[in-house]
Amino acid sequence: MVTQNTEKIPHSVWYGWGDPARAKPLGAGGLEYLRTTLGLDSVEAVHPPVDFDDVRVGPVALGDEVLGELRGICGAPHVSTERAERILHAGGKSTPDLLRIRAGDAAQAPDAVLFPGSAEQVREVLEFCVRRRLAVVAFGGGTSVVGGVEPERGPFSGVIAVDLRRMDGLLHLDALSHTATFEAGIRGPAIEAALEPLGFTLGHFPQSHQQATLGGYVATRSAGQASTGYGRADDLVKSVHLETPAGPMDVGSPAPGSAAGPRLLDVVVGSEGTLGVITSATVRIHPLPAARSHGAWSFESFAAGAEALRRLRHEGVRGDMPHVCRLSDTDQTAATFRLGGPKTAAMARYLGLRGHKTPALALFLWEGPKRETAARRRRSARILRAAGGIRLGPLPARAWERGRFSGPYLRDELLTRGVYVETLETAASWTRLDATYTAVRGAILNALEARGGTGYVQAHISHVYPDGASLYFTFLGGLEPDGQAQNARVKKAASEAIVAAGATITHHHAVGTDHSPYLEAEIGALGIEVLRGIKATLDPSGIMNPGKLIPAPANATPSNATATKEQP
């Protein structure tokens, strides 16, 4: 079976997120919250992006002969040197990416953007780029928030973005084995649109779901909002077809389990475009749930809530864990209650009377067969109550679900209003979770306030494992005149606190350029050498995504973009 996705999904606007027509502007309550919480007297919309016509792009460094050969491989309509395409492929969607593009700087835009239509075309493109010494950036949805799609030339004469957009078909579905094979450029909504009529779901819903692609999920080991139940991208993927400069490679096994040596699939999953281009992937799929049950609980503190989640994971039946399992810290909970309208305000008053003066709100979503889902929720309730939880009914979890993809739009408006806003994430064992939360939160707050401004940090747990949980921080402050320096200062402080706490430098955003300097602290010098060895085998000339994931050796000449970054 081969189906082509025909759904029209808006590609992201050049200065921010998604389709601006879908953005809901901040209401009076939100603006007031910014004023009182952040002390920002002036949150007027006075920092709009520059006009599109004023965005600066460098000259195309590829001659007619090179472009002609690329057109011969992909077809003339699928090789673009148009200014608009180059700008759209000039970076990802982190706050520093947005600050740069909003200021009109797309100087690092790729020389050309290619839209190959098959694995064979990708193979020919890579062979050509090796011969002509051109760097290649595999581009999925371009939603990286760690510099993963920055077009770095490194020592090469040009850089090309290979956008997988045209490769978005469902190639095969095995309904008996619950697996499906897709081309790698298919986006989140199109995956679900292809599976739903056949009675299945992938169950992978990162906040970037509307823009991100399957190839991007696999290349970054992403985690969706329901990953506690369905598993993260690395759990969902079974096998991958990769085109490398050294040739094509299939990794993973059609068998359900295998002991045939080390799992080479794990080398490709998380490789962030540094080894080759993933052109298709086979993933585990799940029957569409017959029932979905929402729940919300309050705990008297973030630490008490985290302990309740640990007990749920350890004392409950394995299958009882909610698919979505989120716990907000007390600051995030206060914002949710304050901005949620009269019903949540009443909830906060009720909790105050029950002794939860500064509560931590947990949201759950159980999915599955009808009777089983209700039974899971009931069994979970016994554990959560015994852990000190107060049950709040389904409303807060339903409200979260309705708005769960709207956060990125808010960031665009906040930047326009002169508010610096960014997120980062980590994960730690249960033993280290609270200390990591305290250390990272403190480091971010200190760095935000280092120049005399005010800062605000909130956090939540969004993924629960047997041995620990993730921590996701969202932070705001007044945007300083040099927003890039402000961001580098905060990010450095947070990253150093994460490393010192013994947590991971990234739970799901991946490494890219931003986390590369901290990778050695996590995997060791020999681990870095192993990665370099694998890259030397699959990409001997080093054309694949220079400057990402694997730190350059100490004596190497810095590539164009990393040279300007603040290093630890």
Give the residue carrying structure tokens 């990162």.
206
Q: Which is nearer to ligand FAD, 140 or 169 (CB)?
A: 140
217 binds ligand FAD (CB under 6 A): yes
Q: Which is nearer to ligand FAD, 208 or 373 (CB)?
A: 208
- Find the shortest distance in angstroms from Cβ 154 to ligand FAD: 14
H or E segment and range at residue 521: helix 516-538
Residue 436 phi, psi dihedral angles, 5° rounding: -65, -45
Residue 177 phi, psi dihedral angles, 5° rounding: -95, -5
Among 5, 213, 333, 487, contact with ligand FAD (rule: CB under 6 A): 213
Q: How far is CA 305 from the centre of its chain?
A: 25
Beta carbons of 470 and 463 less than 8 angstroms apart = yes
| CB-neighbour burial class of residue 526 (10 A; exposed 0-12, middle 13-18, buried 19+) | exposed
Q: Which is nearer to ligand FAD, 220 or 504 (CB)?
A: 220
Applying CB under 6 A, what is the total number of residues that bind ligand FAD? 38
Beta carbons of 151 and 159 less than 8 angstroms apart = yes
CA angle 98, 104, 106 (to 5 degrees): 80
Beta carbons of 283 and 182 less than 8 angstroms apart = yes
x/- mask, ligand FAD, residues 391-410, rule CB under 6 A, reads -----------------x--
- Find the shortest distance in angstroms from Cβ 240 to ligand FAD: 9
Rounded CA separation 399/296 (Å): 11
Binders of ligand FAD among residues 481 to 520 (CB under 6 A) are: 508-510
Binders of ligand FAD among residues 171 to 210 (CB under 6 A) are: 184, 206-208
Query: Residue 17: which of 93, 77, 89 has the closest Cα?
Result: 93
Rounded CA separation 334/356 (Å): 12
Query: Residue 423: which of 97, 20, 147, 145 has the closest Cα?
Result: 145
Among 111, 152, 272, 422, contact with ligand FAD (rule: CB under 6 A): 272
Count of Cβ atoms closer than 10 Å to residue 96 Cβ: 21
- Find the shortest distance in angstroms from Cβ 195 to ligand FAD: 18
Among 125, 278, 439, 498, contact with ligand FAD (rule: CB under 6 A): 278
164 binds ligand FAD (CB under 6 A): yes
**Cβ-closest residue to ligand FAD?**
216
- Find the shortest distance in angstroms from Cβ 212 to ligand FAD: 3
- Find the shortest distance in angstroms from Cβ 510 to ligand FAD: 5
- Find the shortest distance in angstroms from Cβ 381 to ligand FAD: 27
Query: Residue 399: which of 363, 375, 368 has the closest Cα?
Result: 363
What's the helix, strand, coil split of the chain in %, to 5? 40, 20, 40
Q: How far is CA 533 from the centre of its chain?
A: 27
x/- mask, ligand FAD, residues 223-262, rule CB under 6 A, reads x---------------------------------------
Among 70, 109, 161, 212, contact with ligand FAD (rule: CB under 6 A): 212
C-alpha torsion 506→551→493→508, nearest 10: -10
Q: Which is nearer to ligand FAD, 140 or 542 (CB)?
A: 140
CA distances, 187 to each of 8, 143, 213, 285 (Å):
11, 11, 4, 16
Among 99, 277, 383, 414, contact with ligand FAD (rule: CB under 6 A): 277
Q: Which is nearer to ligand FAD, 263 or 451 (CB)?
A: 263
Give the residue carrying structure tokens 């009182």.
36
92 binds ligand FAD (CB under 6 A): yes
Stretch near ligand FAD under the rule CB under 6 A, chosen from 39-47, 273-281, 292-300, 527-535:
273-281
x/- mask, ligand FAD, residues 120-149, rule CB under 6 A, reads -----------------xxxxxxxxx--xx
The contact set with ligand FAD (CB under 6 A) reads: 92-93, 137-145, 148-149, 164, 184, 206-208, 211-213, 215-217, 219-220, 222-223, 272-273, 277-278, 408, 508-510, 545, 548
